[in-house]
């Protein structure tokens, strides 16, 4: 009772007392100057200033303090301007798979992105054009020399395009790169070869030398390039001996003679034994006229080429082609006669209709995939030649290598591209540029062969590369290479390379389909490029897919098709449902359909997939993606 009376008398004080800190050491806090003796305020102010200064100074661990270099006089040495602080090792740095964030890592990623932007800008200036099929009859000029003397720069200068990859790194060009040049109303072919080192026994230099020898043997004139700013090296002398024994006309181009005062130094290279010595500057273009005049003077005159008249498709031709496929019979402009004639009847050229009408003389096929999956081996097997360098070293191919194959009146141009890798896996400039150029060659092709290593299976990078082809509208054929490794067995019935049971083709195909679901329309082939097994099926599938890619469906057929489709089976949200009045095919390569609907709404992906499957079930379009465009009657946009 007395305690209760005391609480009433104290009022709020009894509640305040319960919140006061308990007896013992008071909590640490910043010293204050209010409510203290004026004689102590100066001391407290000094302490508070010291606390503020200490909070702004970065604390360093004792281990780091011990690592500081101390001079004998006790002063800490100052770091010179521009010096880079060495990276300190941390316990977590040695753990495999551990990603420890560093400011250096962030700066490194930014630097990598800047490098890739520069490479993409350079790639936008390069071209993917290749020599035409008619150019095979023209005389050939070969460019040769040791590595890093300016052969690719000269090739790009003469062709007037950036076709060959140029850089400061030696040995960028490895395969033969062909192009066309024109000078004084005369045309010729030109081939850029890799840097020749005759005595080098390493695998890739030896293969480069073999590729260069093929180009030199088929050439009508040879241009040997040397670096005018350096002394002659042993590869220059050895190559000069080989060319002198060949007996073909050789022109010595002394490159990098950028000023008039330097051109007199070209006479020092006459000791190689060549009569025609010409100072040039491939980078600045000086001396190109004298070089071309001398080369074209000894080239044989080309035979006259009779150009075929341009043939355009008529409505009757379109209707006939839609039903039976492309017609390669006599041209409508040609007249049939039973009397013998000395003039051969011209054949009707192949037609390819896309957003316009134009003549197509060949089908372009890009061979794409990860490094070291057998792309170059497949190109050699398809062409029956050693056109591309093959080695077990990943990233051997850098420039795109193309070759034309004639079969059954059809022209197929196969383009072997460089292996596509992730950005973080490419270090050299040539590797980065080759990856970007591989995608550019893919976008310029009609059909793409997606190569998968059977022994490694479908990787995440394979799915990304297939996505590039799908999004760019290229027709896709999935090719599982090295299938012989999965089925070749020993005496015990197990696979030779890993001792596992032989792979079942149906189960393997199902696994590929599960991992590449978005490419369910693409045919699947199992081949062995090294052994040449099932290579003939590649030609058949390419011809089929190229024909399906150009297929056209009339508007009447599409409207009759729409009447049979049950759109209630399509799982589409209500706000994305549209009513299709009619649809028509607007273009081919890839097949593009325009849907005339009641409202302007973006097509739901499930409805697009449903409609595409229905179209494939009725009309085919094997191996080709199908694009849709919506055109609403009322322009009011919903969603």
The Cα-based distances of 579 to 58, 594, 602, 630 in angstroms read 67, 13, 13, 11
419 marked as part of a ligand binding site: yes
Alpha-carbon gap, residue 283 to 286, rounded angstroms: 8
pLDDT at 103: 47
4 marked as part of a ligand binding site: no
532 marked as part of a ligand binding site: no
427 marked as part of a ligand binding site: no
Partners of 570 in the β-ladder: none
User: What pTM did the predictor assign?
Assistant: 0.70
152 marked as part of a ligand binding site: yes
Instruction: For residue 226, give every residue at least 6 positions away whose Cβ sits within 8 Å of its Cβ, in sequence order, or none.
Output: 145, 146, 149, 232, 236, 252, 253, 254, 255, 269, 272
pLDDT at 325: 46
**Count of beta carbons in the 10 Å neighbourhood of residue 286:** 16
Residues in the chain: 639
CA angle centred on 406, ends 404 and 407, rounded to 5°? 140
416 marked as part of a ligand binding site: yes
Residue written as token pair 């060549």: 274
Q: Which of 19-23, 91-95, 431-435, 597-601 has the lowest mean pLDDT?
A: 91-95
Q: Could you tell me if 342 and 302 are in contact, meaning their C-beta atoms sit under 8 angstroms apart?
A: no
417 marked as part of a ligand binding site: yes
For residue 416, what are its two tokens?
């072997």
Residue range 595-602: mean pLDDT, rounded = 86
pLDDT confidence of 391, banded at 50, 70, 90? Answer: confident
CA angle centred on 478, ends 413 and 528, rounded to 5°? 80
255 marked as part of a ligand binding site: yes
Q: 555-632 has which fold?
A: GMP Synthetase; Chain A, domain 3 (3.30.300)
DSSP label at residue 89: P
pLDDT in tens, 156-210: 899 988 777 676 666 677 788 888 999 999 999 999 998 888 777 777 778 888 8
Residue range 444-465: mean pLDDT, rounded = 94
Query: Can you say how many angstroms the Cα of residue 463 is from the centroid of all Cα atoms in its chain?
Result: 14
Alpha-carbon gap, residue 437 to 202, rounded angstroms: 27
* Segment holding 252, helix H or strand E: strand 250-255
pLDDT reading at 32 higher than 90: no
pLDDT in tens, 345-360: 444 444 444 333 344 5
Domain ranges of the chain: 117-162+174-298, 363-550, 555-632
pLDDT at 69: 45
484 marked as part of a ligand binding site: yes
* Segment holding 586, helix H or strand E: strand 580-587
pLDDT at 260: 82
For residue 14, what are its two tokens?
């009894």
Query: Can you say how many angstroms the Cα of residue 250 is from the centroid of all Cα atoms in its chain?
Result: 36
Q: Could you tell me if 525 and 479 are in contact, meaning their C-beta atoms sit under 8 angstroms apart?
A: yes
Count CA atoms within 13 Å of residue 2 on its CB side. Answer: 0
372 marked as part of a ligand binding site: yes
Q: Could you tell me if 150 and 255 are in contact, meaning their C-beta atoms sit under 8 angstroms apart?
A: yes
Same CATH topology for 117-162+174-298 and 363-550? yes
Classify domain 117-162+174-298 by CATH architecture: 3-Layer(aba) Sandwich (3.40)
For residue 445, what are its two tokens?
């092709």
Q: Which of 23-37, 409-423, 432-446, 506-520 has the lowest mean pLDDT?
A: 23-37
pLDDT confidence of 557, banded at 50, 70, 90? Answer: very high
DSSP label at residue 253: E
93 marked as part of a ligand binding site: no
Residue range 26-34: mean pLDDT, rounded = 54
Q: Could you tell me if 181 and 187 are in contact, meaning their C-beta atoms sit under 8 angstroms apart?
A: yes
156 marked as part of a ligand binding site: no
User: 173 phi and psi, to 5 degrees?
Assistant: -80, 130
Alpha-carbon gap, residue 511 to 314, rounded angstroms: 46
149 marked as part of a ligand binding site: yes
465 marked as part of a ligand binding site: no
Alpha-carbon gap, residue 252 to 273, rounded angstroms: 10
467 marked as part of a ligand binding site: no
The Cα-based distances of 498 to 501, 506, 529, 530 in angstroms read 9, 20, 20, 19
Q: 363-550 has which fold?
A: Rossmann fold (3.40.50)
370 marked as part of a ligand binding site: yes
374 marked as part of a ligand binding site: yes
């Amino acid at each position: 009772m007395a305690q209760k009376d005391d609480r009433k008398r104290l009022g709020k004080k009894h509640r305040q007392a319960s919140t006061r800190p308990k007896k013992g050491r008071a909590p640490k806090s910043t010293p204050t100057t209010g409510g203290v003796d004026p004689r102590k305020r100066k001391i407290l102010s000094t302490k508070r200033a010291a606390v503020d200064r200490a909070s702004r100074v970065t604390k360093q661990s004792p281990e780091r303090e011990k690592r500081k270099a101390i001079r004998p006089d006790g002063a800490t040495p100052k770091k010179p301007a521009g010096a880079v602080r060495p990276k300190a090792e941390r316990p977590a740095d040695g753990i495999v798979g551990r990603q420890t964030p560093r400011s250096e890592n962030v700066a490194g990623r930014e630097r990598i992105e800047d490098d890739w932007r520069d490479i993409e800008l350079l790639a936008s200036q390069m071209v993917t054009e290749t020599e035409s099929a008619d150019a095979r009859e023209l005389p050939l000029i070969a460019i040769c020399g040791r590595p890093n003397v300016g052969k690719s720069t000269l090739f790009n200068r003469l062709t007037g395009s950036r076709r060959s990859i140029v850089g400061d790194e030696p040995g960028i060009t490895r395969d033969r790169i062909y192009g066309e040049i024109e000078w004084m109303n005369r045309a010729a072919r030109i081939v850029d070869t890799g840097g020749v080192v005759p005595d080098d026994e390493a695998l890739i230099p030896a293969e480069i030398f073999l590729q260069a020898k093929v180009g030199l043997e088929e050439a009508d004139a040879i241009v040997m390039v040397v670096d005018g700013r350096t002394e002659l090296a042993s590869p220059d002398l050895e190559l000069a001996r080989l060319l002198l024994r060949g007996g073909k006309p050789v022109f010595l181009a002394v490159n990098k003679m950028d000023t008039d005062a330097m051109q007199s130094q070209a006479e020092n290279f006459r000791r190689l034994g060549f009569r025609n010595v010409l100072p040039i500057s491939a980078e600045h273009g000086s001396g190109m006229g004298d070089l071309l005049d001398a080369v074209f003077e000894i080239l044989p005159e080309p035979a006259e080429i009779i150009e075929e008249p341009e043939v355009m498709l008529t409505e009757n031709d379109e209707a006939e082609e839609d039903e039976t496929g492309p017609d390669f019979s006599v041209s409508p402009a040609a007249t049939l006669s039973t009397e013998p004639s000395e003039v051969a009847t011209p054949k009707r050229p192949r037609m390819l209709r896309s957003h316009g009408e134009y003549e197509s003389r060949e089908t372009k096929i890009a061979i794409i995939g990860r490094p070291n999956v057998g792309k170059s081996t497949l190109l050699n097997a398809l062409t029956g030649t050693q056109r591309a360098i093959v080695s077990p070293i990943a990233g051997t191919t850098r420039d795109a290598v193309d070759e034309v194959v004639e079969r059954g009146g059809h022209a197929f141009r196969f383009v072997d591209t460089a292996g596509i890798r992730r950005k973080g896996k490419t270090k050299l400039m040539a590797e980065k540029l080759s990856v970007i150029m591989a995608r550019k060659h893919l976008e310029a092709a009609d059909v793409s062969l997606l190569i998968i290593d059977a022994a490694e299976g479908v990787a995440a990078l394979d799915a990304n590369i297939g996505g590039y082809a799908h999004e760019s509208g290229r027709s896709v054929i999935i090719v599982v290479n090295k299938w012989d490794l999965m089925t070749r067995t020993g005496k015990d019935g197990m696979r030779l390379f890993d001792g596992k049971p032989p792979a079942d083709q149906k189960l393997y195909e199902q696994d590929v389909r599960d991992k590449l679901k978005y490419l369910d329309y693409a045919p699947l082939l199992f081949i062995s490029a090294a052994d040449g097994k099932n290579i003939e099926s590649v030609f058949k599938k390419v011809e089929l897919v190229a024909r399906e890619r150009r297929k056209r469906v009339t508007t009447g057929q599409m409207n009759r098709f729409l009447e049979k489709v049950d759109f209630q089976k399509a799982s589409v949200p209500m706000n994305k449902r549209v009513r299709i009045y009619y649809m028509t095919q607007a273009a081919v390569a890839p097949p593009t359909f325009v849907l005339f609907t009641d409202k302007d709404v973006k097509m739901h992906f499930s409805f697009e997939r449903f409609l595409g499957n229905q179209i494939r079930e009725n009309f085919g379009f094997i191996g080709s993606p199908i694009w849709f465009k919506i055109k609403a009657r009322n322009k009011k946009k919903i969603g």
